[in-house]
Amino acid sequence: MVKSFLASFLLGLLSAKENFQLTIRHETISAPCAMNIVHLSDIHYPKQGVSLKSIVTVTKRCSPDIICLSGDLLDGSVRSFDEALRMFLEDLLEIAPVYYVRGNHEIRINNLLEIEASMTKLGVTHLKREQLDKVCLIGLDELNRYEVLKLDPSCFNIVLAHHPEDVKFLKKYESLDLMLSGHGHGGQIRIGNQGLFAPGQGILPSLTKGLHVIHGRMRVNISAGIGMSSFKQRINNHPEIVLLRLVNKE
């Protein structure tokens, strides 16, 4: 009984500590132009665990050209566009342009359109399609995640899509170069490089974290996320910000 209690207590301490240790993962990708992208996912405001200030500080340290939010910026419990959220987004916008798509939590919010209107007024781009030099950003929201994409083969095409498992139908697009996703929170509990569980993928999921190459060409970057939703623990699974460096291959 005592051993069981001590084991549970130590496990709780370990996971609580890891919930608050924000890390940066660096990835380099060949592209037609140079660009630094900070990829944030699954912040789950106001249940982020990590302070908003620390997210801003680490993001600023990355010196990004753009900031991409691949869903679940907001937890489904959010009811208003409050001052803390406003200040957080303003701070990010002072660093770089911010592009946002919805995840499964945003669509649970009754007054989401009102909140998004306030975000847009600040300067956050609810991403549909944006051309940035030789890079094209495309947003797939939770409610239109299966729509047909129109991609320009002359561009480096990046899709923001919350669910990494959607790669099973997105991989058919030969002109799709990079997909930015989250959703699985890194599998919550990681043993080595393997996550334990992810919604939409089940036990021992294959797509929870890291940069994956599909069919030898398309890359999928999956963020382990920052915040927490219904499951509150992370073990061997730090919250992360991903810095993607697009490097001109010419």
Task: Describe the strand order of the beta sheet including 218-222 as a list of residue ranges.
Answer: 129-132, 135-140, 156-161, 176-181, 218-222, 210-214
pLDDT band at residue 65 using 50, 70 and 90 as cut-offs = very high
* Residues 135-145: tens digit of each pLDDT: 999 999 887 88
End-to-end CA distance of the chain: 64
Domains by residue range for the chain, with CATH: 20-248 (3.60.21.10)
Contact 248, 208 (CB under 8 A): no
Q: Is the link from the previous residue into 46 a cis peptide, with omega within 30 of 0?
A: yes
The residues facing 22 across adjacent strands are none
- The Cα 135–Cα 113 span in angstroms is 28
Of 31 and 1, the structure prediction assigns the larger pLDDT to 31
pLDDT interval class at 217 (50, 70, 90): confident
* Closest alpha carbon to 181 in 153, 128, 223: 223
pLDDT at 18: 61
Q: Which range has highest mean pLDDT (8-22, 78-92, 136-150, 217-231)?
A: 78-92
Angle at which helix 112-122 crosses helix 83-95, to 10 degrees, equals 40
Per-residue pLDDT, 11:
60
Local confidence band at 4 (pLDDT 50, 70, 90 cut-offs): low
Q: How far apart are CA 113 and CA 116, in angstroms?
A: 5
Q: pTM (2 decimals)?
A: 0.91
Mean pLDDT of 232-240: 79
Going by the DSSP 8-state scheme, the letter that residue 165 receives in this structure is G
Per-residue pLDDT tens digits for 25-47: 999 999 999 999 999 999 999 98
pLDDT of res. 5:
44
Average pLDDT over residues 167-184: 92
CA pseudo-torsion sign 163, 165, 170, 171: positive
